[in-house]
Structure 1
């Protein structure tokens, strides 16, 4: 396969995700509501073949993000494992055609037990869709497989929709970083979030700082040199006076370009900086710092002692690891 062919496959799969995204409607909210309304909100995922493998990954994602879940194989369910399902559960059934024989047999049993079903299918008139309380459309324009036989774009799009559902539930539950840490006690991220901020923060020359009397271009040079998206403005006593972020600089420059701008040329950092930036103490737990970043929608935190003097700077990358993790919540 050439590079161009590989790119074509990725393009087709991306188009599949876009198609599923564009097809989303109020039924997605209904699915979230249904899961949240059934205590203890346990989500059982089922499917066979490639859909089953996608379902297993979904179950792992739901579990790690606060929605108790397990995968139920349709065949094993009909040979005793159906006993794990209670009327208080919700079943997420995955079948692109909606006419998978093994899954359809399970659906009939679930209906007898009054277990609500959320369907992921491309066929709204299928047996699966007819048995479901909510139908999520996973239709894609075409598969990346040149034979049109192996599920490729469809499984990718289904997996992405599962991630969207997991994140929506995470937000509805107000799932926090410390909750994620409790679910990942042995993982690298879990270990990183157990420590105090002082163990992962930047200190010394690594912290972008300038004096409160510094010129505008000096602050910008420091911001560019340290490349952390912010520079701390510090008094001679070491106390934090403010912070200038990339966003602050962008908003300032845009305001200067407006025809009716009242700004005058100058280098006073006070008119640009945020004077009461969000800060934390060095003994704060890293998990709590991550939750604060999420709450405030920021990526850097000034670390101060009790007198308000700068001790360091905490960047999102220092919590999650550069190149190792991405912000999940």
Structure 2
């Protein structure tokens, strides 16, 4: 059985910012990686929220204040709180089912309340296909 921990992207290889990071810096961090997600953590490295590329597009189309004011907001104000998560020892098939049902490409992996990784759809499928 393949588990999330066998194929997850490790911390440091996907974008993570603290909850008091301003929006502009968060977008810059997100752009450093080739993924459509940004994880937001507190000082204990507990996941506080996420932002996806799609969230950014929708926000930019709907903001009701000047861009300059928007870009200095703390990122946590605009994040999805309580995102779908999984655990390192969960079967990757269960995680992929969650992803499919929720129509998401990424699921943060949590252990002892701390962010430890990220399952991204494409590497997960690539890994599973290589085992066939």
Is the TM value for this pair above 0.5? Answer: yes
Q: Does 1:219 align with 2:33?
A: no
Over residues 94-133 of structure 1, what are the superposed CA-to-partner deviations in whole Å (9 max), with x where a residue is unaligned? xxxxxxxxxxxxxxxxxxxxxxxxxxxxxxxxxxxxxxxx
More helix as a share of residues: 1
Higher gyration radius (CA): 1
Query: Alpha-carbon deviations, 1:67-112, whole Å to 9, x = none?
Result: xxxxxxxxxxxxxxxxxxxxxxxxxxxxxxxxxxxxxxxxxxxxxx
1:204 paired to 2:8:
no
Q: Is the 8 A contact 2:17 2:26 kept in 1?
A: yes
- In structure 2, the partner of 1:277 is 83
- What count of residue pairs does the alignment treat as equivalent? 125
Cα offset for 1:318?
A: 1.9
Determine if the alignment matches structure 1 residue 233 to structure 2 residue 35: no
Q: How far is 1:287 from its partner? A: 0.6
1:250 aligns with 2:57: yes
Can you give the 5+ residue segments of structure 2 that lack an aligned partner in the other structure? Answer: none
8 Å contact 2:20–2:76 — kept in the other structure? no
Shift of 1:218: 1.4
- 1:172-187 equivalent positions in 2, closer than 5 A: none
Q: TM-score, normalised by structure 2?
A: 0.87
**Helix, strand or coil at the partner of 1:220:** helix
Tell me the secondary structure at the aligned position of residue 9 of structure 2.
Answer: coil
Structure 1: give runs of 5+ residues left out of the alignment: 1-193
TM-score by length of 1: 0.36
* Separation (CA, whole Å) in 2 of partners of 1:211 and 1:320: 30
Aligned equivalent of 1:315: 120
Which secondary structure state, in structure 2, belongs to the residue aligned with residue 301 of structure 1?
strand
For 2:96, the equivalent position in structure 1 comes to 290
CA-CA distance at 1:221 after TM superposition: 1.1
Q: Greater relative contact order (Cα 8 A, min sep 6): structure 1 or 2?
A: 2
Q: Which one has the bigger strand percentage? A: 2
Name the CA distance, whole Å, in 2 between partners of 1:284 and 1:251.
32
Q: Distance in 2 between matches of 1:298 and 1:268?
A: 24
The Cα offsets for residues 133-189 of structure 1, whole Å up to 9 and x where unpaired, read as: xxxxxxxxxxxxxxxxxxxxxxxxxxxxxxxxxxxxxxxxxxxxxxxxxxxxxxxxx
The CA RMSD over aligned residues, in Å, is: 1.7
